[in-house]
Amino acid sequence: MPQNFTDLMLRKLAHDGSRRVEYWDGRIPGFGLRVSPSGTKTFILMYRHRGRPRRLTIGRYPILSLADARTRASEALRQVSLGNDPALIQEQANDPSFRFDAVVGRYVERHCKVHNKPSTARETERLLRKHFVAAWGKRDIRDITQAHVSEILEALIAAGKPSEANHALGVIKTFFSWCEDRDLLTVSPCAKIRKPAKHGSRSRVLSGDELAAVWKAAEAEAYPFGRMTQLLILTAQRRGEVTQMRDDQIDLEAATWTIPADLAKNGRAHVLPLPDTAAEILRGLPRFESPYLFPAKGNPENVISGFTRAKARLDEVSGVAGWTLHDLRRTAATHTARLGVAPHVIERILNHVSGTFAGVTGVYNRFQYLDEMREALALWDDHLHKLIRKSR
């Protein structure tokens, strides 16, 4: 017979080692406690939906308190009164196809790796997993709100990472739009969120003394991060392009580096003459059973990552603060301009499609300027060594 449940009563309920026993509450119709042969106690609710008997598992006692179980049972019965089936709602909520981490995995495999450049796909996955999967994990994507997204973005701003916050918002917005397109969501929680930080172009250019100090710190850092930093300075290329260098991109006999279209930011293959010091560094790199010149430690099929600690060491050893690795690209461009290198040659070195090579001009002017780039990078190499000698 039903009787009003109390915590004392539930604690004292004995189990029958041979069979499952069910007890029913006198206050809420259909609300009960199932006791297994082993003694496990689980709250349940029996109800009818569209004339059919249904059973809802509410939670295990005492992990779930009696008061909380009654609240959930009452809410379930309210759903029944509205014509909904709470057991079906629960099944959908537990469906792994709606788990945030699982949906991210599908998004990366089915969209990013199919429609994006490999470097873009990797960066998108990194941002999603680092900032969002780490916070939300197995949470149902339908339960994620604007407040949840804003909390993560505000934490990045508070940590002094405005650019990372903007990039994180960009990838999570695109992800939730993809979910909307597939009817996984009705409305994206990012629909009304604006960029958390104003975008401002950086203008930091390292002075000659600063550049020499960073070079010497990189020399002391050695492989892999030190050598990567030196190549960033010498070639003026992007970090992602240097870190993903492959043996088959380098021709040391011709002293050229061919950056493939799928790696270049603008989607255009780029043939870059290598200055002597860059070629010398590449000859001296250790070789591993990996296509990459800078493979991840213990995982040669991937490229190296995690630059924060190494960059901090460079700052400490060099005494130069307030700069980023991307600033080395702007620094090389600025110094070579001061050395008298023509703007269109600098743009070719940087593999820009703006400026001199924008619009129609860029379409018809396919001249590679290899000789001019080689001369400019040799001039830059020589100037850099003068700076280093001067600082000693």
pLDDT at position 29 is: 93
Region 62-78 average pLDDT: 93
Which pLDDT score is estimated for 258? 94
The answer to whether residues 215 and 230 touch, using CB atoms and an 8 Å cutoff, is yes
> What is the percent of the chain with per-residue pLDDT over 90, rounded to a whole number?
62
pLDDT of residue 336: 96
Does residue 358 register a pLDDT over 50? no
pLDDT of amino acid 100: 93
Can you give the pLDDT at residue 354?
Answer: 55
Q: Which CATH superfamily is domain 98-181 in?
A: Tyrosine recombinase, N-terminal domain (1.10.150.130)
Q: From CA 215, how far away is CA 213, in angstroms rounded? A: 5
pLDDT at residue 359 in the model: 43
Q: Is the predicted pLDDT of residue 200 greater than 60, yes or no?
A: no
Confidence of residue 364 (pLDDT cuts 50, 70, 90): very low
pLDDT in tens, 216-253: 999 999 899 999 999 999 999 999 899 999 999 999 99
CA distances to 164, 201, 315 from 350, in Å: 23, 17, 25
Q: How far is CA 277 from the centre of its chain?
A: 34
User: For the chain, what are the domain ranges?
Assistant: 7-94, 98-181, 208-391
Q: Given this model, what pLDDT does residue 178 score? A: 94
**Higher-confidence position of 387 and 263:** 387
Task: Please give the Cα distance from 200 to 180 (Å, whole number).
Answer: 31
Q: What is the pLDDT of residue 361?
A: 42
Q: Identify the pLDDT of residue 95.
A: 64
Q: What is the CATH number of domain 208-391?
A: 1.10.443.10
Model confidence at 34: pLDDT above 70 = yes
Predicted confidence at residue 50, as pLDDT, reads: 87
Name the nearest CA neighbour of 290 among 227, 248, 326: 248
Looking at the predicted structure, is the pLDDT value of residue 362 above 60? no
Which pLDDT does position 277 carry in this prediction? Answer: 97
Alpha helix locations (H) across the chain?
Answer: 7-12, 66-81, 86-93, 100-107, 113-115, 118-127, 134-136, 146-158, 162-181, 208-221, 225-235, 239-243, 276-283, 308-318, 327-338, 343-350, 359-364, 370-391
Summarised one tens digit per residue, pLDDT across range 80-101 is 999 889 888 777 666 667 889 9
Query: How much of the chain, in percent, has pLDDT values that exceed 70?
Result: 94
- Judge if 7-94 and 208-391 fold alike in CATH terms: no
- The rounded distance, in Å, linking the Cα atoms of 317 and 248 is 34
Minimum mean pLDDT range among 126-135, 168-177, 299-308: 299-308
pLDDT at 202: 66
Which CATH entry fits the domain spanning 7-94: 1.10.275.10, 3.40.109.10, 3.40.50.1820, 3.30.160.390? Answer: 3.30.160.390
Average pLDDT over residues 191-202: 77
Q: Is the pLDDT of residue 110 over 90?
A: yes
Gap between the Cα atoms of 238 and 260, Å rounded: 13
> What number is the average pLDDT over the span 151-175?
90
Rounded to an integer, the average pLDDT of 50-65 is 91
The overall average pLDDT reported for the chain is: 88
To 10 degrees, the CA torsion angle through 76, 80, 84, 90?
30
CB 370 within 8 A of CB 265: no
pLDDT at position 356 over 80:
no
